[in-house]
Amino acid sequence: MKLGAFSISLAVKDIHASKQFYENLGFTVFAGDIARNYLIMKNGNALIGLFQGMFPNNILTFNPGWDENAQKLAEFDDVREIQRQLKSKNVKLENEADESTSGPASIVLIDPDGNAVLLDQHV
């Protein structure tokens, strides 16, 4: 199962303070809009999303079809195929993708410790 680029999406209290903190660790702004309360920051292959007021907890995020530079991969497992594989293993999904569609879609599952895992396909 190819899940694509990985990042952690952090639910932050103060996006400006968080931006400064991660810049001190060598991260730079890669995407996003601080005026809209979200930034994607990058340090090498490491990606961190900073989201103020958008969701209550941190989320582990995978992007099927993208590499860590948000470039489309030539080959990848579509999120709907990943969903079918997970369902065949009796993995409970919180949100499902419409299997009659193609292109962008997402699914959400919760790991055994309550962490949300988002598979968010943009292509």
Q: Chain-wide mean pLDDT for the chain? A: 97
Q: DSSP string of 65-103?
A: TB-TTSPBPSS---HHHHHHHHHHTT---SB---TT--S
Strand partners, 113: none
Residue 47: its pLDDT value, please?
97
Sheet with 38-43: list strands edge to edge.
28-33, 38-43, 46-52, 5-12, 59-63, 116-121, 105-110
Over the stretch 79-103, which tens digit does the pLDDT of each residue have?
A: 999 999 999 999 999 999 999 999 9
- Domains annotated for the chain, with CATH where assigned, are 5-121 (3.10.180.10)
Residue 11: its pLDDT value, please?
97
Q: pLDDT band for 35, please (50, 70, 90 cuts).
A: very high
Q: Give pTM, 2 decimals.
A: 0.91
Residue 66: its pLDDT value, please?
96
Contact 81, 70 (CB under 8 A): no
